[in-house]
Chains A and B, each alone.
Chain A
């Protein structure tokens, strides 16, 4: 059966939508994950400061990942 012609384009569009929607979530998700991990460690080790460290760590990871995405996208453009 021949493939419908519009399909690759559509898939490409969905891939793009997925890629762009990832951008919005990357930093908040990393921060929340860092916060939860920090809280978990705080609960386990009976400390209070690991939550803040987790938030900072999450923010840094989020930023680094975003910058990696930007660099990859600008290499695609070239």
Chain B
């Protein structure tokens, strides 16, 4: 189904871009309909956005079915390439498409009442979420650095606006400005790195760059230009996943942003950044792995240390979860280190995919509980605000406990499987010291999650007013809670999904080039 260069737009291109077309159409529809809606009908925008997500998911399902049909015919399904080989909707991309859509759907459910309380219930909010998902899809399915970069910017610009959506709130404005400035700076460095790779390879296609780079590295292993290109590209990518020392934007942006947007950023935006990072590290600059693995080891250790130790001292829930999300990035980087250690084992990369999936549910769930604490006069994001939640809202308190245990990686919660595969891959690849360090930090993580749990369960309530829940938020809690417990107890289906996304023949073909 390869896109032909002669024809400008083929039916294959149409199928492959259908999930993005759907989201764009619904986002534009929201912008138009919003103009005509009276203030009390603004909720309709949320339903329109959810409908867009359903249609987009159906389109992704259609692509998935095409793979399944090829499998059942016994053909090794080639990668589905479109738009002159600049778009690759392989199984890896399909997995991430579902992840983005799920994250966006839960974030929309969480937002409805929150935006009403903040009195900023505008249709643009939902349109921006959908546009940022389109950007994420381009990042996950980009096979050309130009498309990857455009996707990144589409996602980033939509998110900058979402972070500053509370226009009258100083914290929100400050967060948006910091995020915008640092984000623009890192995008610049990233684009510089990509331009150097273009200079080295003479192409913007990911596969061509990989092949040219393989030759180049073989003839000139310590070429300063290639190393500079690697360093600048890696800096941009590590900034986007908020790895130490490029993490300074994350706590401020997470604290100031509307809580539902913080949840969305910490799962969907992060997953997109990971999709882009994996695509570039595993597909494009794979020949340079002797150079980048030591760099990743340093960054992973710094990220686990920085994230976990800073989280210990936090009193604000959103800031604490921001630092904890930095620590989780550290664990996932360990998976990448193990995954690039040998081409034979995919456990490390599988660990990252499983981790991102379970993280979507457990972290969004924790943010949904924090969102429920928001009232007209109470911001509700300090640890003191959650004190005594057990007596005010027992269901939310128990769900929060599940999310916290899962974040800490305690079985039988879903978070356990993410950590299990990462640690397993480290042991399989012989990185015993890194595995031991990760275990120590996991216990530190358990400590600060238990601080929240202890405030929730053992301290008396400072605020006795009951927590009122909207139906959307209840549904969001139900989905995330069920996901966290269900994946933990019956992980089989989800592990198979992660395996399916990695067994893509084209991934093996690319790996075979460098064996």
A26 and B443 contact, Cβ closer than 8 Å, known pairs A71-B454, A74-B455: yes
Give A38-73 interface residues, CB cut-off 8 Å to B.
66-67, 69-71, 73
Q: Beyond A20-B312, A24-B440, A25-B440, is A66–B454 a contact (Cβ under 8 Å)?
A: no
List B contacts of A66 (CB < 8 A).
Answer: 443, 446-447, 450
> Is B446 touching A74 in the complex (CB atoms < 8 A)?
no
* Complex: A71 Cα to B451 Cα, angstroms: 8
Closest to B449 in A: A70
State the main secondary structure of chain A at its contact with B.
Answer: helix
How many Å lie between the Cα of A71 and that of B450 in the bound state?
Answer: 9
Q: How far is the CB of B446 from chain A (nearest CB, A)?
A: 6
Assembly CA distance A26 to B446 (angstroms): 11
- A70 contact from B436, B439, B450, Cβ within 8 A: B450
B474 at the interface (CB under 8 A from A): no
Q: Nearest Cβ in chain B — how far from A29, in angstroms?
A: 10
Report whether A74 and B443 are in contact in the complex, using a CB–CB cutoff of 8 Å: no
> Which secondary structure characterizes the binding site on chain B?
helix
B359 interfacial contact with A, CB 8 Å: no
Across the interface, A74 reaches (CB within 8 A) one of B439, B441, B451, namely B451
Q: How far is the CA of A25 from the CA of B447 in the complex (A)?
A: 11
Interface size class of B (residues with CB under 8 A): 10 to 19
Task: A73 to B447: give the CA distance in the assembly, Å.
Answer: 10
Residues A27 and B446 in contact, CB atoms below 8 Å apart: yes
**B447 engages A28 (CB within 8 Å):** no
Shortest Cβ distance from residue A64 to the other chain B in the assembled complex, whole angstroms: 12
Cβ A27 vs Cβ B454 within 8 A:
no
Q: Annotate B156-176 by CB proximity to A: 1 below 8 A, 0 otherwise.
A: 000000000000000000000
Q: Indicate whether B309 reaches chain A with its CB closer than 8 angstroms.
A: yes
The answer for the CA separation of A25 and B441 in the assembled complex, in Å, is 9
B444 within 8 A of A: yes
Q: A67 to B447, alpha carbons, bound, how many Å?
A: 8
In the complex, are the beta carbons of A70 and B451 less than 8 A apart? yes
* Closest residue of B by beta carbon distance from A74: B454
For residue B458, CB closer than 8 A to chain A, the reply is yes
Asked if residues B454 and A28 are in contact (CB atoms below 8 Å), the reply is no
For residue A70, which residues in chain B have a CB less than 8 angstroms away from its CB?
Answer: 447, 450-451, 453-454
Give the docked Cα–Cα distance between A20 and B312 (Å): 8
Shortest beta-carbon distance from A19 to chain B in Å: 10
CB contact list, A6-50 vs B, under 8 A: 20, 23-28
Query: Which residues of A have CB within 8 Å of B459?
Result: 74, 78
Residue from A23, A73, A74 in contact with B444 in the complex, judged by beta carbons closer than 8 Å: A23
Contacts A20-B309, A66-B450: A71 and B458 contacting too (C-beta < 8 A)?
yes
Q: Complex formed: what's the CA distance from A20 to B309 in Å? A: 8
Q: How far is the CB of A42 from chain B (nearest CB, A)?
A: 24
Q: B441 and A67: CB pair below 8 A? A: no
How far is the CB of A25 from the nearest CB of chain B, in Å? 7
B443 lies within 8 A of A67 (CB):
no
Most B-side CB within 10 Å, residue of A20, A66, A70: A70
B444 near A24 with CB under 8 A, answer: yes
Known A20-B309, A20-B312, A27-B446; judge A73-B440 contact (CB<8 A).
Answer: no
Shortest Cβ distance from residue B437 to the other chain A in the assembled complex, whole angstroms: 9
Max chain A C-beta neighbours (<10 A), residue from B312, B447, B459: B447
Which residues on B sit within 8 Å (CB–CB) of A23?
312, 443-444, 447
B450 interface neighbour in A20, A24, A67, A78, Cβ under 8 Å = A67
**Does A24 lie within 8 Å of B443, measured CB to CB?**
yes
> A27 to B436, alpha carbons, bound, how many Å?
12
Docked pose: A25 CA to B437 CA in angstroms: 10
The answer on a CB contact under 8 Å between A28 and B450 is: no
CA distance A67 to B452 in the complex (A): 12
Q: Which of B38-81 contact A (CB under 8 A)?
A: none
B272-306 vs A, Cβ < 8 Å mask (1 yes, 0 no): 00000000000000000000000000000000000
**Contacts A20-B309, A20-B312; A73 near B443 (Cβ below 8 A):** no
Name the A residues within 8 Å of B454 (CB-CB): 67, 70-71, 74
State the CA gap A16–B291 with chains docked (Å).
37
Contact call B451/A28, Cβ cutoff below 8 A: no
* Given known A-B contacts A66-B446, A71-B458, A74-B459, A24 and B441 have beta carbons under 8 A apart: yes
Q: Can you name 20 A-B pairs with beta carbons within 8 Å?
A: A20-B309, A20-B312, A24-B440, A24-B441, A24-B444, A26-B443, A27-B443, A28-B436, A66-B446, A66-B450, A67-B450, A67-B454, A69-B447, A70-B451, A70-B453, A70-B454, A71-B454, A74-B455, A74-B458, A74-B459
Q: Which 4 A-B pairs have the closest CB atoms?
A: A24-B440, A70-B450, A23-B447, A27-B443
